[in-house]
């Protein structure tokens, strides 16, 4: 892997303790299939999504150290030279309903970031128990969006930089709402997808408050640039495409990812991002029975070099069966060194 990258993300075998003991540059170790309430160290982030492929792996984030760890209210963090990872797990039985818990998680996140040297969230992952439970505006995902919007107050007409995000459902019996993030000293460059309506402009039919995220951010640091891709599904405009067709949904999601990468290239001019061995992809699948079909489709349509993991997770709209997110690195082209 390219050692110049600000964030080195990879899938690795072994135990979380092994990875945390082994190196001074470990910012986070994500362990799948475990409640976020089981965290043993600020760098250890259990995620309640079952891995569908094998062997069992961890997602390891490394960044320039030394890494300082600590906690702030109910948030735990690991802070390196350039980047901070932070995570919050709120026990829904203790904090109350989803709207309240989401608002609390984002209040804590924002008060932490305000006093951090790495004030800008670049990407936020939201893992929401029973995301599709409840109907109409009572659906837990919509309640989650409501709480987030109450915490992240944006004045009408204001367009602050928004982090990229993923919002995925964990089992309904999981106790904790989990929010984790990557933050840096400067905001990312927001990228929207020309094929999709921006999420913050979704029409009312999708809920009382729009989701607040950008389709991707590009983090630029010491000459290396990386693309943080939001959870990307089979949505064109604002509508779900290919209802009940999981393979076609994955293909559409990949078209959306490529469209985002093209848009990033257009904005950056001299760099472009590729799905290659310096990146990672996470593939979320609602129904584990779809795993083989999704895997075969991705193997056919995405380069074999990019590491990927398959997780069982519910998607924020009942009509969506799969979603992809990822981190990919950008490469310079052309010969204007000043534009680096």
Q: Which residues lie near ligand 3EB (CB under 6 A)? A: 126, 165-167, 199, 211, 213, 230-231, 233, 235, 316
Which residue's CB is nearer to ligand 3EB, number 51 or number 126?
126
Q: What residues contact residue 205 under an 8 Å CB cut-off, 6+ apart?
A: none
Whole-number Cα distances in Å, 109 to 46, 128, 129, 133, 180: 18, 16, 19, 25, 9
Q: What residues contact residue 327 under an 8 Å CB cut-off, 6+ apart?
A: 7, 9, 226, 227, 228, 229, 279, 280
Burial code of 313-323, b = ≥16 C-beta within 10 A, e = fewer?
A: bbbbbeebbbb
Give dist(CA 215, CA 328) in Å, integer: 14
Task: Give the shortest CB-67-to-ligand 3EB separation in angstroms.
Answer: 27
Give dist(CA 334, CA 314) in Å, integer: 42
Give the chain's end-to-end CA distance (angstroms, integer): 20
Task: Give the shortest CB-132-to-ligand 3EB separation in angstroms.
Answer: 12
Task: Give the shortest CB-124-to-ligand 3EB separation in angstroms.
Answer: 7
Strands 224-232, 176-184: parallel, antiparallel or unpaired by DSSP?
A: unpaired
Task: Give the shortest CB-168-to-ligand 3EB separation in angstroms.
Answer: 8
Strands 50-51, 308-312: parallel, antiparallel or unpaired by DSSP?
A: antiparallel
Task: Give the shortest CB-237-to-ligand 3EB separation in angstroms.
Answer: 11
Which residue's CB is nearer to ligand 3EB, number 168 or number 221?
168
Task: Give the shortest CB-149-to-ligand 3EB separation in angstroms.
Answer: 10
Task: Give the shortest CB-234-to-ligand 3EB separation in angstroms.
Answer: 9
Which residue's CB is nearer to ligand 3EB, number 94 or number 204?
204
Q: Look-up: residue for tokens 């007409």?
A: 157
Which residue's CB is nearer to ligand 3EB, number 235 or number 311?
235
Phi, psi of 164 (to 5 degrees): -70, 160
State which residue has the least CB distance to ligand 3EB. Answer: 167
Measured over all CA atoms, what is the biggest interatomic distance in the chain, rounded to whole angstroms? 57
CB atoms within 10 A of CB 332: 16
Task: Give the shortest CB-139-to-ligand 3EB separation in angstroms.
Answer: 12
Which residue's CB is nearer to ligand 3EB, number 16 or number 36?
36
Which residue's CB is nearer to ligand 3EB, number 251 or number 271?
251
Q: Are 333 and 272 in contact (CB under 8 A)?
A: yes
| Residue of 186, 258, 179 whose CA lies nearest to 225 | 186
Which residue's CB is nearer to ligand 3EB, number 165 or number 280?
165
Which residue's CB is nearer to ligand 3EB, number 78 or number 164?
164
Q: Look-up: residue for tokens 């804590």?
A: 108
């Amino acid at each position: 892997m390219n050692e110049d990258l600000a964030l080195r993300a990879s899938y690795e075998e072994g135990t979380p303790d092994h990875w945390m003991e082994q190196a001074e540059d470990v910012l986070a170790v994500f362990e799948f299939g475990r409640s976020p309430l089981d965290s043993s160290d600020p760098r250890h982030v259990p995620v309640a999504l079952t891995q569908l492929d094998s062997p069992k792996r961890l997602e390891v984030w490394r960044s320039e150290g030394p890494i300082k760890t600590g906690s702030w209210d109910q948030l735990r963090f690991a802070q390196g030279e350039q980047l901070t990872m932070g995570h919050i797990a709120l026990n829904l039985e203790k904090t109350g309903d989803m709207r309240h818990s989401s608002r609390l998680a984002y209040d804590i996140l924002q008060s932490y970031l305000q006093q951090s040297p790495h004030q800008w969230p670049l990407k936020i992952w939201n893992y929401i128990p029973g995301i599709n439970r409840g109907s109409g505006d009572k659906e837990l995902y919509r309640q989650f969006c409501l709480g987030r919007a109450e915490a992240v107050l944006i004045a009408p007409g204001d367009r602050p930089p928004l982090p990229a995000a993923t919002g995925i459902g964990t089992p309904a019996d999981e106790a904790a709402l989990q929010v984790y993030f990557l933050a840096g000293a400067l905001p990312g460059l927001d990228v929207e997808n020309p094929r999709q309506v921006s999420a913050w402009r979704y029409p009312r039919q999708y809920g009382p408050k729009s989701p607040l995220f950008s389709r991707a951010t590009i983090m630029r640091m010491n000459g290396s640039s990386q693309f943080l891709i939001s959870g990307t599904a089979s949505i064109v405009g604002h509508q779900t495409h290919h209802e009940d067709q999981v393979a076609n949904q994955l293909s559409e999601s990949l078209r959306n990812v490529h469209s985002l990468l093209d848009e990033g290239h257009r904005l950056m001019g001299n760099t472009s991002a590729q799905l290659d061995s310096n990146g990672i992809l996470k593939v979320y699948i609602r129904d584990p029975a779809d795993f083989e079909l999704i895997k075969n489709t991705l193997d056919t349509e995405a380069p074999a070099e990019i590491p990927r993991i398959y997780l069982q997770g519910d998607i924020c709209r009942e009509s969506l069966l799969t979603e992809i997110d990822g981190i990919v690195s950008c490469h310079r082209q052309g010969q204007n060194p000043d534009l680096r």
